[in-house]
Amino acid sequence: MESSSCSILQPILGFSHCCNSRSTSTASPRLYYNHRFPETHLHNLPLFSHTSSNSRLFHAKRLQFMCNNASSSSTSSVDQNPPQKLAVLLEVEGVLMDVYRFGNRKAFNLAFRKLGLDCANWTEPIYSDLIRRSRGDEEKMLVIYFNRIGWPTSVPTNENAAFVKSVLREKKNALDELVMSKSFPLRPGVEDFIDDACKEGVPVVILTAYSKMGEKVTRSIIEKLGNDRMSTVKIIGNTDVEKSLYGQLVFGKGVSSSLDEQLAREVAKAASAEKQRIAKEVASMLKLSVDIDTSSSESLQHVVATLRAGAEYAEVPLYNCVLIAGGQFGAAGAERISMPCIVLRSSFTARAEFPSANAVMDGFGGADLTISRLLKRRWS
């Protein structure tokens, strides 16, 4: 009778029951458990008696129910902790469109013609050589070029700097017109990237507030995505930054700043003014012209405010947002607030280094930037 009870318990409980056929009914059976139960449930384990096989079968079924219940509760606890939400913040210049690859050289040539400089024409080899020699500094590119071929006779020597600035102004206007034309394409794969984000429920925020091209030009680039895609993304311009909670705190519009924040701003302004005064005194002694540019820190503050506004509108914490940047400026702002950042190389930044970025990639799709890689946090 004892051996028959063992055959009933074994398939139900899943443990080995070693019985000695010679033992009496008063002998205590040895149970070897294959299942491991949570320690919190050990005090609830049933006590087996040796009264009858029916009693053991009842306790066995009760024990099996407890195992199944513990397993289901563990699964439900995992389901209650879904993956954290992710948001993608996209810059425009260098990310949505590789502006310099398709239009920068052409814009320079258009500017030369508009200014009546028929002798000036940048072919691809000339342009590449100037980029290499100047490391991308456009003012230096012009100086190197005209030092080589000769400056226009109509430009006095002491007005070379003003002439360079006039060329750059005309070049910017020409580039803006080219970018806004229908012939300028978006970067390959960016449309599929946004579509995949929409399918996965990942918010996409496009940042125009701190673009050097201005919001009018960047808006025309975004419109190339089409109305359907534009309806799925959020565009953050200067007005949106100012209306954001962080923007109101920083720029003093709406919510009033705390006394400490106001004092910090005044101290920064005073320090900047003092640096400028000392620089002028030193320049006067050395008979030099010196001007300290303090706009970089203010511009970086604007980048930070834009990134925070993007996270705010996406309703995702900063550390769960990923900035897709096209250059150093956005990467520096992301580093300031510990936001993950991936830089997409363009023709303008092909040889640049981005030590503050989490990763540097060459484009969208394939082995480079995809939504699936972002969701898996595979950035390098």
Domain final residue pick, 155, 180, 205 = 180
Encoding tokens for residue 235? 């565009």
CATH number of the domain where residue 244 is located: 3.40.50.1000
Distance of CA 286 to the CA centre of its chain: 46
217 and 364 fall within a common domain: yes
Q: Is residue 273 part of a domain?
A: no
209 and 337 fall within a common domain: yes
Residues above pLDDT 90, as percent of the chain: 46
299 and 224 fall within a common domain: yes
* Single-letter residue type at 214: G
Q: 214-265 pLDDT, tens per residue?
A: 888 899 999 999 999 999 999 999 999 999 999 888 876 544 445 665 566 5
Q: Is residue 270 part of a domain?
A: no
Encoding tokens for residue 188? 């390959």
Q: Is residue 268 part of a domain?
A: no
Domain final residue pick, 152, 180, 208 = 180
d(CA 368, CA 27): 69
The DSSP letter of residue 112 is H
Q: Is residue 280 part of a domain?
A: no
* pLDDT of res. 59: 45
111 and 13 fall within a common domain: no
344 and 357 fall within a common domain: yes
pTM for this one?
Answer: 0.64
* pLDDT of res. 16: 38
Q: Is residue 275 part of a domain?
A: no
Question: What average pLDDT score do residues 47-70 get?
Answer: 45
Q: Is residue 242 part of a domain?
A: yes
Which of the pair, 380 or 8, is modelled with greater confidence? Answer: 380
247 and 301 fall within a common domain: yes
Q: Is residue 231 part of a domain?
A: yes
Q: 316-331 pLDDT, tens per residue?
A: 999 999 999 999 889 9
202 and 326 fall within a common domain: yes
Question: What average pLDDT score do residues 335-358 get?
Answer: 90
* Single-letter residue type at 258: S
* pLDDT of res. 40: 39
For the chain, the domain total comes to 3
162 and 54 fall within a common domain: no
Specify the 3-state DSSP secondary structure of 189. coil
* pLDDT of res. 83: 57
Helical (H) or strand (E) element with 284: helix 259-286
Query: Does residue 88 contact residue 341 with C-beta atoms inside 8 Å?
Result: no
Domain final residue pick, 151, 180, 209 = 180
Q: 71-111 pLDDT, tens per residue?
A: 444 444 444 445 568 999 999 999 999 888 778 899 999 99
Indicate the angle between helix axes 295-314 and 328-336, nearest 10 degrees: 70
Q: 6-20 pLDDT, tens per residue?
A: 433 343 333 333 334
CA angle (288 as vertex; 283, 291 as ends), nearest 5:
65
d(CA 249, CA 343): 29
Handedness of CA 273, 278, 282, 284 (dihedral sign): positive
191 and 176 fall within a common domain: no
pLDDT(269) > 70: no
* pLDDT of res. 262: 57
163 and 69 fall within a common domain: no
118 and 218 fall within a common domain: no
Gyration radius from the chain CA atoms: 34
Q: 287-312 pLDDT, tens per residue?
A: 443 434 444 567 888 999 999 999 99
Domain that holds residue 151: 99-180
Question: What average pLDDT score do residues 205-209 get?
Answer: 96
* pLDDT of res. 296: 58
Encoding tokens for residue 206? 């496009």
| Main-chain dihedrals φ then ψ at residue 310, nearest 5 degrees | -60, -45
Q: 101-156 pLDDT, tens per residue?
A: 778 899 999 999 999 998 899 998 998 889 888 877 899 999 999 999 999 988 88
61 and 199 fall within a common domain: no
d(CA 360, CA 357): 7
Q: Is residue 235 part of a domain?
A: yes
